[in-house]
Amino acid sequence: MIVSEPTPSNLPSQDNGPSSTAIFLVLRKMRAPLLVLIVTFAVSVFGLTLIPGQDVDGKPWRMDIFDAFYFMSYTASTIGYGEIPHPFSTGQRMWVTICIYLTVIAWAYAIGTVFSLLGDTGFKTAVSTQRFSRSVRLLREPFLLLVGFGQAGELLARSLDDMDRRLVVLDIDQTRIDSLELASFHNDVPGHVGDARNPEELIRAGLNHPKCAGVIALTSDDEANLAVVMAAALLRPDLPVVARTMDDLIAERMLDFGEPQIVDPFNLFGDELMLAVTAPDTARLATWLTSDPGTVLPEDPELPRAGRWVVCGYGRFGSRLVHDLLRHGIEVTVIETTDTATGGAARILGDATEPEVLQRADLTHAAAFTAATDNDTTNLSLIVAARRANPDLYLVARQNQPVNAPLFDSVAIDSVLVPTRLIAHEVLARIGDPMLWRFLQEARTHSDEWSADLLERMQTSCGRHRPGLYEPVLTGADNPALRSWLDSGHAHLGELLRDPQDRTLPLECTALLLRRGDDVVPAPGDDEVLAAGDQLLLACSVTGRRKLDTILGVPQVLEYVASGERIGNSWVWRALSRRR
């Protein structure tokens, strides 16, 4: 038996369950009230046809079924056209009076049931789920499936929305989905309450939608994130997946399902800290490029390159940091309340908040101090105590709750780990701008001098404020002259990045990365030969980007920067130029 590989087209489509559920609930809840109304009307109409009356001539007359139904219809709707076609007899009026009270009761019963149905939790869930499924089904542009709308998820969603990226959100918490509806996003962001461990919920959220461009799992439950990775790998192996976890075992299990990009904030912070110690200019380059446009180039963090570190707390963050420090040959003293092996670091058993325990750490001869517990109050008090003991210490703190940011800012700590912010920035770099993330990975493989030279070039061309990033693809589809130039085999990058007014001047752009298929060239030089289909990652000023757009879009401008020949726009000038 041949089993075809699952693709978006042959995967099971999103079910119509929510729609069927809403209709079923309406039918089930309204069944009794509708029967009561129908029976009341039938009895009223039938009774009117049996009770005798008189016409205008005093002759006996009986109302037929149509007239009786017509009379009961406008009476029940309170329109009240009166007694037609003839004035009623006393018997008919007595029956109509009874019918009026019966229909009022029946209508009250039906309307009450409708209000009860509108307030029913199951009905509201079915309707909102139906609305969500329809919104996802109607998406016609690429979107990202964001699973988990906590603090990191919200930060990431706002950043992606600012980049005009469409999102679909799935979270197990109703209050978070409610907050999503109240948030001021530029684009409509469909949100749904559901358990990410249920594949049906992921399918409903658009996992098999042909426009789904990627999956981001940022729940606080590692098992749920693992389930998302597994479902995406099995149902949509073509999609990029980014998942958060702080458990090494879960990370290994995730890697069993394809190649998900795993984000561990504690490992990330440790790596960045060690990068700042070993390659400060590379760290500045990464920090600058991942910051908001316009941010001033950060100064050297001046981390202690030598000396002893004191780390309070040997939990998930503290243990990873100690491991990274020891790996780089840095002496470490750990203060921990439990008798735990510290992997070769000196250990002080006790509570660091007690002055006597902190005194045993000999902070006066230490170079750096880290408050790494999972309690913000404890970390702040430790930082204050450490600074009092040695004002020259380099201070690192873990901030667990973003709401405590003003307190940490007021203490002026040298480096603060905010896991939610770090996760959001990392995911944004990886899936929001893959070219930038690829460049940052390549930069780490080069020397710190290479990064320092690139920073110098960027400052010379764009200034000290973070330039914008531009990623043109050199296809020449809209400019035949560009395609001819690229196909000539002599299209050098340095010629393209020239001022269109005076080609002797460089453009306000710095090339960071050249991608050709699966290969990349970090910081390509001016002599790099370009080809059709190449994609560039450029750091440009606003003026530089505008000029580059002109070069890529206007053949005469491209001819000037490439060869130095100025060609007019008129047919006569172009003809004369060709004859020369």
Please, what is the angle between helix 17-50 and helix 65-76, to 10°?
A: 120
Quote the CA–CA distance of 498 and 550 in Å, as a whole number: 11
Quote the CA–CA distance of 250 and 287 in Å, as a whole number: 28
In whole angstroms, how large is the CA radius of gyration of the chain? 36
- C-alpha pair distances (Å), 171 with each of 97, 178, 262: 56, 11, 19
Q: What phi, psi does 164 have (nearest 5°)?
A: 65, 30
CB distance 444 to 275 below 8 Å: yes
User: Which string of DSSP letters, residue by residue, matches 442-474?
Assistant: HHHTS-HHHHHHHHHHHHHHH-SBPPEEE--EE
Summarised one tens digit per residue, pLDDT across range 114-168 is 888 888 877 888 888 888 998 999 999 999 999 999 888 888 898 888 888 899 9
Determine which of 23-27, 220-224, 395-399, 538-542 has the lowest per-residue pLDDT on average.
23-27
SS3 state at 375: coil
What's the gap between Cα 296 and its chain centre?
26
- C-alpha pair distances (Å), 443 with each of 225, 453, 524: 29, 12, 12
- What was the pLDDT predicted at 116? 86
> Cα torsion at 167, 172, 175, 180 (round to 10°)?
0
Category of 471 on φ-ψ map: left (φ > 0), alpha (ψ -120 to 50) or beta: beta
Closest to 364 measured CA to CA, from 334, 391, 397 = 391
Mean pLDDT of all residues belonging to the chain:
85
Quote the CA–CA distance of 459 and 478 in Å, as a whole number: 32
Summarised one tens digit per residue, pLDDT across range 276-329 is 888 889 989 988 888 777 788 888 777 887 889 999 988 888 888 898 889 888
- What was the pLDDT predicted at 571? 55
Residue ranges of alpha helices (H) inside 51-173 are 65-76, 90-118, 121-137, 151-162
SS3 state at 9: coil
Summarised one tens digit per residue, pLDDT across range 557-578 is 888 888 887 766 555 555 555 5
Q: What is the mean pLDDT of residues 194-218?
A: 92
- What was the pLDDT predicted at 3? 37
Which residues pair with residue 60 across a beta bridge? 54
Closest to 97 measured CA to CA, from 30, 153, 148, 48 = 48
Which residues pair with residue 241 across a beta bridge? 215
Quote the CA–CA distance of 67 and 99 in Å, as a whole number: 15
What's the gap between Cα 115 and its chain centre?
37
Closest to 423 measured CA to CA, from 271, 276, 269 = 269
Per residue, the 3-state secondary structure of 198-246, as one string, reads CHHHHHHCCCCCCCEEEEEECCCCHHHHHHHHHHHHHHCCCCCEEEECC
- What was the pLDDT predicted at 15? 47
Quote the CA–CA distance of 87 and 82 in Å, as a whole number: 8
Q: What is the mean pLDDT of residues 219-235?
A: 93
What's the gap between Cα 424 and its chain centre?
8
Q: At 377, which helix (H) or strand (E)?
A: helix 376-389
What are the residues whose beta carbons fall under 8 Å from the beta carbon of 533, sequence distance 6 or more? 473, 474, 475, 516, 517
SS3 state at 46: helix
CB distance 312 to 301 below 8 Å: no
Category of 313 on φ-ψ map: left (φ > 0), alpha (ψ -120 to 50) or beta: left
- What was the pLDDT predicted at 327? 87
Category of 350 on φ-ψ map: left (φ > 0), alpha (ψ -120 to 50) or beta: left
13 pLDDT tier (thresholds 50, 70, 90): very low
Question: What are the CB-based long-range contacts (under 8 Å, 24+) for 176-181?
Answer: 176/149, 176/150, 177/149, 179/149, 179/154, 180/149
Closest to 278 measured CA to CA, from 208, 329, 226, 227 = 329
Quote the CA–CA distance of 36 and 305 in Å, as a whole number: 85
pTM across the whole model: 0.71
pLDDT over 70 percentage in the chain: 94
CB distance 63 to 48 below 8 Å: yes
Answer with the residue of higher pLDDT: 55 or 205.
205
206: exposed, middle or buried (Cβ count in 10 Å: 0-12, 13-18, 19+): buried
Q: What phi, psi does 573 have (nearest 5°)?
A: -65, -40
Closest to 175 measured CA to CA, from 187, 188, 162, 193 = 193
Instruction: Write out the two tokens for 127.
Output: 């309707």
Summarised one tens digit per residue, pLDDT across range 67-94 is 888 888 888 777 777 777 888 888 888 9
What's the gap between Cα 204 and its chain centre?
18
